[in-house]
Structure 1
Amino acid sequence: MVALSVFGVINYTESSFVLLQQVFGQRKASKPHTGYVRVPDQEPLKLSCDTCSVVSSSGQILGRLAGAEIDRASCVWRMNSAPTRGFEADVGHRTSLRVVSHTSVPLLVQRQHYFFGQANDTVYVVWGPLRNMRRDGRGVVYNMLRQVMESYPQARVYVTTEERMNHCDRVFKEETGKDRIQSGSYLSTGWFTLILAMDMCKEIHVYGMINDTYCRTEGYRKVPYHYYEAGSRDECAEYLLHESAPYGGHRFITEKSVFAKWAKSHRIKFLHPVWSVS
């Protein structure tokens, strides 16, 4: 799960992203994205969005009243099991696509009618390591998803292929100079969401992402780490805790720096709180 905070806009030229097929009445001449396949028939994901609102789960989004702005996008993307009910003014109502970690699938299964019932037309993209996602009957998470599809055959549930997972590792190494496994790093739902969004969206508005200096300044907002969790965990305490980890490879360290590089390349503008890309 991602606990970062800010609003970003990424603009892409027509040639810099993969256009896929129809969504919300918009047709784009494009090929399916074979890195994401449906459970259980292995059909590739077909999705194309002009403007994407990518909403993280950070408590920094509380009180921003960005809900109407978020909902104006062609597609609204969320992560894991982060809700909208009760937070509509800040996070919006719509959910076109939800990127889900293998560790969060049980949370969705606990409320499967809510997430996968007839009234829900959200696309789900689940990422995870091969040991959990294998299709030979021994992939625990994949087996959960197959059971969901048996109960809700109309649901649109996709998984990230092993090849796509390897691609994300390669991107990590290219951008950071570190081998993910050797450095003890791991990638988060935020990482996979941005990789996917850059393939499928012409313009990306990211809500809920802080920069690397935010937690070092006085007066930062102490808010719940995730807006859907009770309590008062301080996301900056979490950030500083992980920065001092032995490998220095936690998602907060990798994502903030790599997203900043992508911001410079793709004209991302970060707000709430404002930060510049040097």
Structure 2
Amino acid sequence: MWNGVVIVQDSLLRHVMKQSSQVLLFFLVVWMLLFLVVFTYFFDSQVNQTQKAISISYSDGQHVARDSRELKKTHSSRFAERRGLFQSRRDFKLSDSIYKQLHLRNIYKMRLERRIKKNKTKTIDNTWLLMEGLWKGNVSSNMLNRRLQRVIKDYVRVNKHKVLYKGKRNASRSRQELLCQMKLQTRLKSLDSSEQPFVRLGFQRWFPSQPLQKVYKTCAVVSSAGSILNSLMGREIDSHEAVLRFNSAPSIGYERDVGNKTTIRIMNSQILANPKYKFNSSSIYKNIALLAWDPAPYNFDLEKWYKRPDYDLFKPYIAHRESFPEQPFYILHPSFIWNLWDFVQSNTVENIQPNPPSSGFIGITVMMNLCEEVDVYEYIPSVRQSSLCHYHEKYVDVACTFGAYHPLIYEKMLVKRMGTASEHDLRKKGMVTLPGFSKITCPT
């Protein structure tokens, strides 16, 4: 009897174990199928993403790019740009020049990281922080590197030109308020023979009898910055009715990027005084209107300035007028220069350098006086920004972009605030559009 019971129990046990094994096997098969489905889904997703595009993102001014060979092979690759805290995206196709720029910037970034690691320091390159600030119209001297901050403090302390600003400061004026203030405060003025010592010295023979006042519809101001290289903006620049260039910047050999039309050239006094610029013989100064300027004392004492200019511009000016009497050639009045400086300081809470504005900002203001609309190229630099000072010279210094002697970052910030330009145009083209004074309507 007991043997029968044992046999029955053993049979039941085997039956239960068999059913349990089948259930476990079933669940194991189901789990494997689910795993294969999930794995296939994610694998296909990654393959599709790789085939569709290679994403290059901006974040906090840092550029991350794939190898340039892979970029060139992937013709459908797009440029995804992140902007601001919300990182909204905007896509556009990459040109060959941008491929090259991104590859070079990637190399620069890797070298920078190696240098930081080698020196065991937490110092980072703040160039792109400054760039983002300029594109958004919000910069400060605290964003500059320590060297430039020290230079600015030294210039403020020395105050070579005896600047004594007594006006009010307001950094929160609206775009319209800024434009109206600029229109009222910075009317174009050149030297004439109505003031001493020029009346006594007979300068009526040399100063043009007619002021520079022709009004153009569309004008281009072409920065000499190194970042204009590889811009391919030459044709667009030449499409303007009038084009302003600076100092000794040539167009021959650089037509693809800067164009070849020149209507007006503005020069600091070094160009006239230094023989290396060949002012009286070079063709780049011929058959156009010329404007020269020199930093006089802040109170623009003309007698004192004539006797001791920063660079001797008066003798070369007279020599040029004798050789080319029909060419329009003007010297900007010091009051115009320093009124423009006052405009910058009055809209900046910080103490800016007590030195004259840059030739770039002077030139922009001149064209706002003469044009209905002004397009400014690479004054606010694009993603092509580099430490190369001028596109036609092999000299490198970040101060050429962000300022040391001149209050450049403050000037650029005001141009951004007064202009109309999408962040796309600023980043890709380095272009901002400003209205001419004739198109600005202000309250009476």
1:121 Cα deviation after fit: 2.1
**Contact 2:221/2:244 (8 A) holds in 1:** yes
1:66 Cα deviation after fit: 1.1
| Whole-angstrom distance in 2 between the partners of 1:186 and 1:49 | 27
Please give the TM-score of this superposition, normalised by the length of structure 2: 0.45
| Whole-angstrom distance in 1 between the partners of 2:349 and 2:208 | 33
1:207 Cα deviation after fit: 1.0
Gap runs ≥5 in structure 1 = 19-32
Specify which of 101, 108, 113 is matched with residue 281 of structure 2: 113
Q: In the alignment, what sits opposite 1:208?
A: 378
More helix per residue: 1 or 2?
2
The answer to whether 1:41 aligns with 2:41 is: no
RMSD: 3.8
The answer to whether 1:161 aligns with 2:315 is: no
| Whole-angstrom distance in 1 between the partners of 2:317 and 2:214 | 20
Give CA deviations for 1:36-74 in whole Å, capped at 9, x if unaligned: 247723532122111001100011111111111111101
Aligned pairs (5 A) from 1:31-110? 35-37=189-191, 40-41=206-207, 43=209, 44-106=211-273, 110=278
Counterpart amino acid of 2:410? Answer: T
| Whole-angstrom distance in 2 between the partners of 1:82 and 1:60 | 14
Relative distance call for 1:107 and 1:63 in structure 2 (3 A) is farther
SS at match of 2:339: helix
**Contact 1:116/1:152 (8 A) holds in 2:** no
More strand per residue: 1 or 2?
1
Counterpart amino acid of 2:368? Answer: M
Q: In the alignment, what sits opposite 1:192?
A: 362
Q: Among all aligned residue pairs of Structure 1 and Structure 2, give the percentage whose two residues are the same amino acid.
A: 23
Relative distance call for 1:129 and 1:172 in structure 2 (3 A) is same
Q: In the alignment, what sits opposite 1:273?
A: 427
Q: In the alignment, what sits opposite 1:24?
A: none
Counterpart amino acid of 1:113? Answer: S
Relative contact order higher in (CA < 8 Å, ≥ 6 apart): 1
Relative distance call for 1:237 and 1:141 in structure 2 (3 A) is closer
**Contact 1:80/1:104 (8 A) holds in 2:** yes
Specify which of 404, 412, 419 is matched with residue 256 of structure 1: 412
1:194 Cα deviation after fit: 1.4
Aligned pairs (5 A) from 1:225-240? 225-230=389-394, 233=396, 236=398, 239=401
**Contact 2:292/2:331 (8 A) holds in 1:** yes
Q: In the alignment, what sits opposite 2:345?
A: 173
Gap runs ≥5 in structure 2 = 1-130, 136-175, 193-202, 433-444
The structure that has the greater radius of gyration is 2
Relative distance call for 1:191 and 1:204 in structure 2 (3 A) is same
SS at match of 1:112: coil
**Contact 2:221/2:377 (8 A) holds in 1:** yes
1:98 Cα deviation after fit: 1.0
| Whole-angstrom distance in 2 between the partners of 1:102 and 1:228 | 19
Relative distance call for 1:41 and 1:116 in structure 2 (3 A) is farther
Relative distance call for 1:227 and 1:107 in structure 2 (3 A) is farther
SS at match of 1:113: coil
Relative distance call for 1:170 and 1:61 in structure 2 (3 A) is same
| Whole-angstrom distance in 1 between the partners of 2:338 and 2:316 | 23
| Whole-angstrom distance in 1 between the partners of 2:287 and 2:327 | 7
